[in-house]
Amino acid sequence: MAGACGKLGIVDAGYQETVIAAMRDLLITCIVLIGCLYTLKKPYIGILLWSWLSYMNPHRLSYGFAYSMPFAQITAITLFVSMLFSKEKNKIPINSITVIWMFFVLFMGITTIFAYFPDAAMEYYVRIIKIQLVTFLTMILITDMSKLKQLLWVIVFSIGFFSVKGGFFTIMTAGGYRVWGPAESFIADNNALAVAVLMTIPLMVYLYQIATNKWIKYGLVGSSVLSLFTIIGSNSRGAFLAIVAIGLTYWLKSKNKLGTGIFIAVLAFSLLSFAPESWYNRMNTIENHEEDASAVGRINAWWYAFNAANDNLLGVGLNSWSPETFALYAPEPSDVHAAHSIYFSVLADHGWIGLGMFLTIFLLTWLKLKSIIKKTEKNPDAKEIYLLAKMLQISLMAYFVGGAFLSLSYFDLPWHLVSFVVLIERFYTEQSSVNSVKQAPSQFPTTPRSK
């Protein structure tokens, strides 16, 4: 009798898990379908939905039919249909950033044609094109700060889901295990997740600065702190260097340097006090990189990229990091590694010309942010743009430093950040034009009639 009851309990538990899994699949499917219906009415909703699917990968959290459903493709098709019948006729902002950006995307197509492995390169290029296309559509469909803030909330929620969960996990396990990102995504790796989280924290700070509800503010503060614990739990050396860089950047941009410095010092002390011995051992390999196999492998991969670019004007193409190409260009041919650097990844993939365009895009973006901050600093009407521009600089700094040790050249988020810079410049220009019209004197002033 007891055995029968035990088996019945096992069956019931299995049935409950099956039901919960099915409900999760249905929930994700319903959200996507409802989002697609709203996209038909308002095309920019498609950008929000696609971003949620891209950053959070919610279907990868399911266990049934939703896991392999092409939700992003369905969303993209719905978005294009919606734009086809939409009365809104917006265009991509044309400036130095977007022009070089478009040339870079086209140039990647050329290098793909002449790649060492053309078929593998084309498969990866198609993935890049999908990301770039939606990013360009972002600059077309996000037409005001309200829509941009909605997109920021989607990104913060999507990546924040893993950073908050990872923070709790790190605290509960005392940092005994590494934290990983969503499966089969750009940020599945612990190092990639850590840098993505670091890029997201400044966006959390921005949303905190403009929030009016105290509970939302509390939630964003808690999420930011837990996100820092996720970075500790990732055991990422690149993220450690990036967090030092953004801490310094935030301090330099702060008006109250003494208060900010004390806050950063207390926060750093708290995090370092919590970090387990394994984390310190991992960070010590930064100084003693000659003794670390992973670090030596990265240096070998960087030399491979340098030699490949010198020997090929167009690089060796996407998806070329293989034993065949390492045998040609790497100092240690048998030590095959991924790029582990946004810079050397582009260098090997697209040569010096491609790297030049890649660096120029982000340099111009940085300079554009400096210009926006200078223009809006003392303008109360542009306060939200000013605050966002400062946080975007910090996010990009996290990418520049953390990305030096990660293969995230084609990850969605940094390209989305570039599009945000293009957008807020346009919003500020439009706002300034409206204000100048309102303040301009009448073209035909009236004079009182003589009696």
Please count the residues of the chain.
Answer: 451
Tell me which amino acid residue 72 is. A
Phi-psi sector, 289: left (phi>0), alpha (psi -120 to 50), beta: alpha
Separation between Cα atoms, residue 147 and residue 423, nearest integer Å: 11
Task: Give the end-to-end CA distance of the chain in Å, rounded to a whole number.
Answer: 113
- What was the pLDDT predicted at 113? 94
User: Which runs of consecutive H residues, i.e. helices, occur in 57-144?
Assistant: 71-85, 96-113, 118-141
Q: Nearest to residue 417, comparing CAs of 399, 403, 401, 435?
A: 399
For residues 150, 155, 161, 167, the Cα torsion angle rounded to the nearest 10 degrees is -120
Radius of gyration of the chain (CA): 25
The identity of residue 78, as a single letter, is T
284-315 per-position pLDDT tens digit? 555 544 445 566 777 888 899 999 999 999 99
Give the integer Cα–Cα distance in Å for 161 and 223: 9
Who contacts 406 (Cβ-Cβ below 8 Å, separation ≥6)? Answer: 189, 191, 192, 195, 238, 340, 341, 342
C-alpha 309, offset from chain centre = 27
User: Residues of the chain whose pLDDT is less than 50?
Assistant: 8, 10-11, 288-291, 444, 449-451
Phi, psi (deg, nearest 5) at residue 60: -75, -5
pTM: 0.84
The total of other beta-carbon atoms located within 10 Å of residue 306's CB is 15
